[in-house]
Structure 1
Amino acid sequence: MTSPVPRPVAVGVDGSPAGLAAADWGAREAQLRDAPLRLVHAGEWQPYSHPPPEGPEAARRWSEGVPQEVTTWLHHRHPGLDITAERLTGPPPEVLCEAAEAAELLVIGTVGIGPVAGFLLGSVALATVAHSERPVVVVRARAADDGPHRGHPSGAASPRPVVLGLDLGRPCDDVIRFAFDAAALRVAPLIVVHGWNPPMFYAVGADPNEDADIAAEEQAALRRTLGPWREKYPTVDVAEQAVIGQPARHLLEAGSRAALVVVGRHTPSPRALPPRIGHIAHALLHHCPAPVAVVPH
């Protein structure tokens, strides 16, 4: 019986350095997964790193050339990778979300972090993450050459960890599975961060013994949640961190040295308010130097 054809890794390309970083990251991810790579360029997408070509005809020729140029560049960097490239017409978030539906995950790029990083993520990235029904990985322009994408079992280099932000109030299987898969593919350790806060009426430090009891309960709950996943992924080295305080702050700290940070995005019902990213994912997307995977659930 033949094996099923793997779903591709899709990448949104726009001709910018950030788009190239996303394409390179997506190519390496496709190689890890033994999957094809699909490049998608929205005809209405203009690069934000430099002015668009003057005139509609020049803009059309530039747009048509982007997918092929990126494909050629990737073939030199990743010989043998199965790459397809398409130029589609439509609003970029809609085009990218449609491409994600048939993909294992979608990769998009954004500019590097800085003092005004909060203003640089871009409306395309935010809208795509908020509406996609598949995992979206946002890669910064500087992330493409930040070291190995996977671990080295030979011990030649220590792989950077995968970091998972986990809410024990709703520990979704899809989010946990994505993080364990990512760690296993990279032969990398997995750091699971659960940030918690004591009840509003409780004063931290008032009773050291009670502080220790609550912390132990949170750690035990985290261990119980991850127990079945440790059995499913026995080769993944898991470190559990149940830490008091804002989860975003702890995840940003762990993400400063991570290969990938994974968080979930709660998907509301169709009758609910428009999709939201959530404050933790929002903080990571704007300020985390590592690639950030947002997994809807």
Structure 2
Amino acid sequence: MSRTVTVGLDGSPESRAAAEWAAREAKLRGLPLKLVHVWEPVPEPIAQAPLLGSETQAHWSERIPREAAEGLRLRHPGVDVAMEQISGRPTDALAEAAKDAELLVLGSRGLSGIGGFLVGSVGAAVIARTETPVVLVRAGEQAADEHEKDPAGIPSAATAYRPVVLGLDTDHPHDTVIAFAFEEAARRGTALKVVHGWNLPPYFAYGLPADPQLNAELGRQDAAALARVLSPWRQKYPDVEVVEESRSGSPANHVIDASHEASLVVVGRRIRRSPIGARIGSVTHAVLHHATAPVAVIAHD
């Protein structure tokens, strides 16, 4: 695996936002940035058309990554920017490109009217097929969005980074996911907020009265379990402030709520090598669609 931050670029606003985020991440990591532009050859009958022919398509397919690379070099001095053009189906090409990257960054449209993502079929398929960490970035994502507000109440790149948020399953914690979140918080010099949701007792489903003492005890047990999982990581990363949040209810909803004040959200995806195909998982799927910060999906066994 080559040590690069790779971004899928198609000229859309969401892919341009992803490229800007990827350039900032490449600088944080001290790695080169690779722009991958995928174009699908036009069918032969269309290729013969005077305005939509293969030469015209080739011209635009070369212009998009070239101009993007030039702009990124100007805005992010010190970042080594390379570009690559690949012909084929975007899903296949990006999944293949991810194999040679340390991190793959893709754009995702913002949901109309509310914060969040609209994860297209290509993004979802690539996430499900690759074992490389994938970050989804919304259209319009700005550098200032990752930072705290200034005295005027406006997010500013001159202020500290917002916390990194980790959605953690304490029943099945995975080192790969936890390590990624701690590393991202350490690079940004910010806190790591670890969010875990636990289920209420079954009697809620049947409309039976709640037992406050039982609920309180379950809450204490879950908080203790979260603390045990994080204890060795606190020792490994003593400079990272860790904020633990254990709450009853939907894990996805708690992570989505926390994303409003996050610079990055980190969630896991179990690798499923099955003949019926890969899947993302319900919690990660919900977070991908509704989080209001960039989302990193980390594959794990």
Q: TM-score, normalised by structure 1?
A: 0.88
Q: Which residue of 1 aligns with 2:282?
A: 279
Q: Which residue of structure 2 aligns with residue 240 of structure 1?
A: 244
Question: 1:77 is matched with which residue: 62, 69, 75?
Answer: 75
Q: Which amino acid aligns with 2:195?
A: V
* Alpha carbons of structure 1 residues 124 and 79: separation in structure 2 relative to 1, 3 Å: same
Matched, 1:23 2:19: yes
**Contact 2:116/2:138, CA 8 A, preserved across alignment:** no
Give the counterpart letter for 1:21 in structure 2.
Answer: A
1:140-155 counterparts in 2 under 5 A?
140-148=138-146
Show the counterpart of 2:190: 188
Inter-partner Cα distance in structure 2 for 1:104 and 1:204 = 50
C-alpha distance 253-181 of structure 1, shift in aligned 2 (>3 A)? same
C-alpha distance in 2, partners of 1:256/1:76?
30
**Paired residue secondary structure (2:140):** helix
Give the match's secondary structure for 2:78: coil
Q: CA deviation at 1:250?
A: 0.7
Tell me what 1:8 maps to.
4
Cα deviation code 1:256-289 (max 9, x no counterpart): 1110000000111x33531101111111221212
Mark the CA change 1:177 to 1:45 in structure 2 (over 3 Å): closer, same or farther: farther
Name whichever of 231-240 and 282-291 sits farther off: 282-291
Change (3 A) 1:201 1:264: same
Q: Which residue of 1 aligns with 2:256?
A: 252
CA offset at residue 204 of structure 1? 8.1
Tell me which of 98, 101, 120 is aligned to 1:100: 98
Alpha-carbon distance between aligned partners in 1 of 2:89 and 2:176, rounded to the nearest angstrom: 28
Task: State whether residues 109 and 117 of structure 2, in contact with CA within 8 Å, keep that contact through their aligned partners in structure 1.
Answer: no
Partner of 2:164: 162
- Report the AA paired with residue 134 of structure 1: T
Greater alpha carbon shift after TM alignment, 182-191 vs 114-123: 114-123
Residue 293 (structure 2) aligns with: 290
Q: What is the SS of the residue equivalent to 1:281? A: helix
Partners of 2:219 and 2:132 in 1: CA distance:
34
Letter in 1 for 2:97: A
Residues 231 and 118 (structure 1 numbering): CA distance in 2 closer, same or farther, change over 3 Å?
Answer: closer
Q: Following the alignment from structure 1 to structure 2, what is the Cα–Cα distance between the partners of residues 78 and 204?
A: 59
Q: How many residues align?
A: 283
Root-mean-square deviation (CA), in Å? 2.5
Is contact 1:143–1:289 with CA below 8 Å preserved after alignment? no
Quote how far apart the aligned CAs of 1:114 are: 1.8
Question: Structure 2 vs 1, CA of residues 43 and 286 (structure 1 numbering), >3 Å: closer, same or farther?
Answer: same
The 8 Å contact of residues 108 and 119 in structure 2, kept in 1 or not, is answered as yes
1:197 to 192, 199, 203: 199
| Native 8 Å contact 1:18 1:111 kept in 2 | yes
Change over 3 Å in CA distance of 1:101–1:275 after alignment to 2: same
Counterpart pick for 1:121 among 107, 119, 122? 119
- Partner of 2:137, secondary structure, is strand
Amino acid at match of 1:124: V
How far residue 147 of structure 1 moved from its aligned partner, in angstroms, is: 3.6
CA deviations on 1:176-229 (whole Å, 9 max, x unpaired) are 000000000000111000111034257886322221111000000000000000
Task: Report if the CA contact (8 A) 2:128-2:280 is conserved.
Answer: yes
Quote the residue 2:56 is aligned against: 58
Q: Deviations over 1:62-116 (max 9, x none)?
A: 1122111110010110112111100011111111111111211100011222248
Change (3 A) 1:243 1:117: closer
* Partners of 1:256 and 1:290 within 8 A in 2: yes
- What is the aligned partner in structure 2 of residue 86 from structure 1? 84
| SS of match in other structure, 1:111 | strand
Preserved contact between residue 8 and residue 37 of structure 2 (Cα < 8 Å): yes
- The alignment-based identity, stated in percent, is 49
1:45 CA drift (Å): 9.1
